Amino acid sequence: MATGLLVRVSGLRVGKRPLLFLPYALWSLTVAVLLLTFLPLVHPGVAVWQLPAEEVIPVYVVGAASISYSLLLFLACSGGRGVNLCIAVASGILCYGMSACVLLFLPELAFSRVSLVGSVGLAILLALYPLVFSRLVFMLSLALLLLLIVAVNGWFLQRPVIEAGAEPERIISARYVIDKETQQVVPQQPGAEGGALTPYGEGFIAATGNGLFYRLDWAGQGNQLHAEALNLSSPLAGRDTFYEKKPGGLQFRTTDILVEYGDGGDALLVSHQVWDREGDCFRMAVSRAPLDSEASGGPPDWERLYTTQPCIEQPFDTVETGGRLAWVGDRVLFTVGDHGKDGRGAPAFPQNPLSDYGKVLLLDMQGGAEVFTLGHRNPQGLLVDSSDRIWVTEHGPAGGDEINLLREGRNYGWPLATYGADYNKRTWPLNPDGLDHAGFTEPVHAFVPSVAISNLIQVGAKQFPRWAGDFLIGSLRKETLYRVHIREGRVIFVEPLTVGKRIRDIVEAKDGRLLLWSDDETITVLSRRPDADAGEEIFDQCRVCHERMGRDEAPAPNLSGIVGGKIAAKRNFNYSPALKAVKGRWTEARLLEFLQDPQQFAPGTSMGANGVPDAAERAALVKFLKTYGKKP
């Protein structure tokens, strides 16, 4: 029976009825567009044409194969004899197999091979659909398919931004429940990925990948940020001219920003790419411009502090730029990637003492530089920690992203040593064993497979005290924040925290909240959600003043029974005149107001603390005080 069924299927012909060109062409284009709708599922809120090339190319290749396959079927059925079903399926597999061979030359796919195979199978079935069913069913199916595409794109292209007053999303870590709020703070501009954040005053400065700058401040008591454009031009020298000459060519971008504080005014340092018109080649640079929001007239000129040598001719990799900045005393560390010049068909710049690429440079701010460390591939993160140790995170190839503790003069091995492998291979050709770093300085930790590592910070104790001293490291491809617990220079554990955004940069606010800058130019604010015992934990900071320690009298009044009690009414305590002047009782609302800003509530009060800035923590503390001192 099975043999007979196989014979019947192998002899089955489809498409005997002549196909109408326009409906079938529309169907074929619709199927190709349907494949493109899968990509926004990977990055909600981002249109397919706004994604980086390595994530768009695979889908466009499959889309082109879909159209080619449909054209092949149309020509095969044009004579009215139809086409053998098995031959039609085999032709589809062959057609898409050729596209798969093209994808093998890409460094890495942005989505799994399973997703690719699934989309190919769906495309073959949809291409055969009009050849099997009647014209009426075909036309109805075409209408439904168009509606499906509109619905899917309409849903997934809505930017996942938390509306004011809405319940934030949550991230569950081993130590905390974290509120996550994503905002489109700066106007979204199509352009190069990149950009950065840096603290400034009570707020921050943001730089987009294409060189626009904004001052960010908290808009209110919540996590909302307000953006104001700075009076600065783009430092991306030659960008417009280059795009006119070579449209759709290589992309420029800013890679980091750093504030220089001075008595005569502050300035902004920016690392970025530069196109040399005369040499038709590229460099990395650090430029400086004064930060003066009150300046009238046009934006100030950028002063070039340093430009890398030599000028890199095409072809090269504009993604492997590095470009992070950090102060070390009165000098600046500047990471520079190898731009793909790794010894495979091109000079190995990271090991060449005459090249700035694949190095961490130390700039003297007078135009000079010296090599601090060498043997780096793409150092995307840079941190000087609380103990003045210098850390770098850098991309490996397919595997081998590294966390490195830098020591001046050390060689970190690239491209002669790595724990990664060449793309779509099992080894790295210049270090095929991959057992160690072959005499070069070993990384503190390596990620295998790669996570597309980005910048890192060291966490303070204000918002996340149980994380104090740990590193938080962003990732691009994995869209994950990694908490790295390091003791005595050794990684004890790594905790992944899924964010769902390509994290390009991280900063910590003065109150301990975390801000993540993403490649889609959104900012995600992470804040601690108090747990059930948060009130008592917060009150632990109050005990030093409000509870008696040993024989010493407490410098502040005991808070037992404060909720509902009279203001400034505790016996044997000399309250400030400011607080004595406030009449009434400590209601929950008045306590919340006082805890937010004691000096604003009672100007001149002797309470030296700055209050509790986080609204959720204030509420948790008042809830605890309602039961504090009462017998169970």
Convert the pLDDT of each residue in 98-141 to its tens digit: 766 665 555 444 445 556 666 677 777 777 777 777 767 767 77
Alpha-carbon gap, residue 548 to 556, rounded angstroms? 9
Pair 273, 197 in one domain = yes
The CATH number of residue 548's host domain is: 1.10.760.10
Tell me: pLDDT of 163 over 80: no
Q: Is 50 exposed, middle or buried (0-12, 13-18, 19+ CB in 10 A)?
A: middle
Mean pLDDT of 278-292: 90
Pair 308, 198 in one domain = yes
Alpha-carbon gap, residue 145 to 23, rounded angstroms? 13
Beta bridge partners of 458: 471
Tell me: pLDDT of 520 over 70: yes
Q: Which helix (H) or strand (E) holds 616?
A: helix 615-625
Q: Are 399 and 451 in contact (CB under 8 A)?
A: no
CB neighbours of residue 59 within 10 Å: 22
Pair 546, 596 in one domain = yes
N-term to C-term CA, the chain: 79
The more confident residue out of 588 and 53 is 588
Assigned domain for 501 exists = no
Pair 132, 238 in one domain = no
Contacts of 291-297 spanning 24+ positions with Cβ under 8 A: 291/200, 291/205, 291/230, 291/259, 291/265, 291/266, 291/267, 292/231, 292/265, 293/215, 293/228, 293/230, 293/231, 295/231
Tell me: pLDDT of 50 over 50: no
Alpha-carbon gap, residue 187 to 54, rounded angstroms? 25
**β-pair type (369-374, 13-14):** unpaired
Tell me: pLDDT of 319 over 90: no
Q: Work out the pLDDT band at 7, boundaries 50, 70, 90.
A: very low
* Tokens found for residue 492: 């004890």
Assigned domain for 589 exists = yes
Q: Are 302 and 288 in contact (CB under 8 A)?
A: yes
Pair 129, 233 in one domain = no
pLDDT at 114 (0 to 100) = 59
Q: Which helix (H) or strand (E) holds 36?
A: helix 21-36
Domain total of the chain: 3
* Tokens found for residue 588: 């929950």
Sign of the Cα torsion 94, 96, 101, 102 reads positive
Convert the pLDDT of each residue in 327-339 to its tens digit: 999 999 999 999 9
Q: Work out the pLDDT band at 150, boundaries 50, 70, 90.
A: low
Q: Are 338 and 320 in contact (CB under 8 A)?
A: yes
User: Which of 267, 291, 314 marks a domain boundary?
Assistant: 314
User: Which of 279, 296, 314 marks a domain boundary?
Assistant: 314
What's the number of CA atoms in the CB half-sphere (13 Å) around residue 67? 12
Assigned domain for 591 exists = yes
Listed in sequence order, the residues at least 6 apart from 595 whose beta carbon sits closer than 8 Å to its beta carbon are 611, 612, 618, 621, 622
Q: Are 204 and 216 in contact (CB under 8 A)?
A: yes
Range of the domain at 251: 192-314
Pair 209, 130 in one domain = no
**β-pair type (503-508, 514-518):** antiparallel
Cα 510 → chain centroid? 21
The more confident residue out of 30 and 619 is 619
pLDDT at 11 (0 to 100) = 58
Tell me: pLDDT of 169 over 90: no
Pair 34, 115 in one domain = yes
Assigned domain for 104 exists = yes
Pair 125, 13 in one domain = yes
Assigned domain for 505 exists = no
Q: Are 281 and 312 in contact (CB under 8 A)?
A: yes
Tell me: pLDDT of 44 over 50: no
Tell me: pLDDT of 9 over 60: no
pLDDT at 604 (0 to 100) = 84
Tell me: pLDDT of 197 over 90: yes
Listed in sequence order, the residues at least 6 apart from 23 whose beta carbon sits closer than 8 Å to its beta carbon are 130, 135, 138, 139, 142
Assigned domain for 331 exists = no
Pair 213, 259 in one domain = yes
User: Which of 314, 340, 369 marks a domain boundary?
Assistant: 314
Pair 25, 132 in one domain = yes
Q: Is 502 helix (H, G, I), strand (E, B) or coil?
A: coil
Tell me: pLDDT of 426 over 50: yes
Q: Work out the pLDDT band at 551, boundaries 50, 70, 90.
A: low
Alpha-carbon gap, residue 565 to 559, rounded angstroms? 10
Pair 34, 132 in one domain = yes
CB neighbours of residue 199 within 10 Å: 15
Assigned domain for 425 exists = no
Tell me: pLDDT of 241 over 70: no
pLDDT at 2 (0 to 100) = 45
Assigned domain for 523 exists = no
Q: Work out the pLDDT band at 242, boundaries 50, 70, 90.
A: low
- Measured in residues, the chain has a length of 632
Pair 145, 25 in one domain = yes
DSSP output for 376-416: -SEEEEEEE-TTS-EEEEEE-SBS-EEEEEE-TT-B--TTT
**β-pair type (331-336, 322-328):** antiparallel
Q: Work out the pLDDT band at 86, boundaries 50, 70, 90.
A: confident
Q: Are 625 and 588 in contact (CB under 8 A)?
A: no
Mean pLDDT of 335-362: 91
Q: Are 464 and 474 in contact (CB under 8 A)?
A: no
Alpha-carbon gap, residue 95 to 249, rounded angstroms? 29
DSSP output for 224-280: -EEEEE-S-----TTHHHHHHHSTT-PPP-EEEEEEE--TT--EEEEEEEEEETTTT
pLDDT at 351 (0 to 100) = 95
Q: Which helix (H) or strand (E) holds 53?
A: helix 53-76
